[in-house]
């Protein structure tokens, strides 16, 4: 499934990376607000779903090789988070729904849990 398809499914606002959405294939999804968990269990190519809207989520996504970040739950994403996504070339999206709902929608489309790739 492309990142564009994910963005459409979750009705995301694209904060950075509009031009990359068609070319990026989402292989797996991981969700966490604890970036230490993402570092421990993240997988290259995964899509990170998080409620954390600070630059740390983008930086962590870059370290694990994530294909993008979707921030959920918050009313807005900080400007410095968007700037870092632009600087690092990581697509950043926003979905105004709960993490539970976002993950449920993607799970129903049979996307793989990022942790399963490492097992």
Whose CA is closest to 67, among 51, 36, 85, 90? 90
What sign results for the dihedral spanned by CA atoms 113, 80, 89, 63?
negative
In a domain, 80, yes or no: yes
Residue 49: which domain range? 3-111
In a domain, 20, yes or no: yes
CATH of the domain at 58: 3.40.1390.20
In a domain, 81, yes or no: yes
In a domain, 117, yes or no: no
pLDDT tens readout for residues 34-69 = 999 999 988 899 999 999 999 999 999 999 999 999
Looking at residue 114, what is its pLDDT? 61
pTM above 0.75, yes or no: yes
Domain count for the chain? 1
In a domain, 88, yes or no: yes
In a domain, 7, yes or no: yes
- pLDDT confidence bin for 11, thresholds 50/70/90: very high
In a domain, 116, yes or no: no
What is the average pLDDT across 15-25? 96
Q: What are the phi and psi torsion angles at 22 (to 5°)?
A: -75, -30
Whose CA is closest to 69, among 111, 118, 7? 7
In a domain, 73, yes or no: yes
- pLDDT confidence bin for 115, thresholds 50/70/90: low
């Amino acid at each position: 499934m492309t990142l564009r398809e994910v963005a459409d499914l979750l009705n995301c606002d694209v904060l950075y990376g509009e031009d990359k959405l068609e070319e990026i294939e989402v292989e797996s999804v991981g969700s966490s607000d604890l970036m230490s968990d993402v570092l421990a269990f993240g997988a290259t190519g995964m899509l990170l779903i998080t409620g954390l809207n600070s630059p740390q989520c983008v930086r962590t996504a870059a370290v694990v090789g994530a294909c993008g970040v979707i921030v959920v739950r918050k009313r807005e994403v900080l400007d410095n988070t968007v700037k870092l996504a632009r600087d690092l070339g990581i697509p950043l999206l926003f979905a105004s729904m709960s993490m539970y709902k976002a993950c449920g929608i993607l799970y129903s489309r049979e996307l793989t849990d990022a942790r399963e790739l490492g097992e």
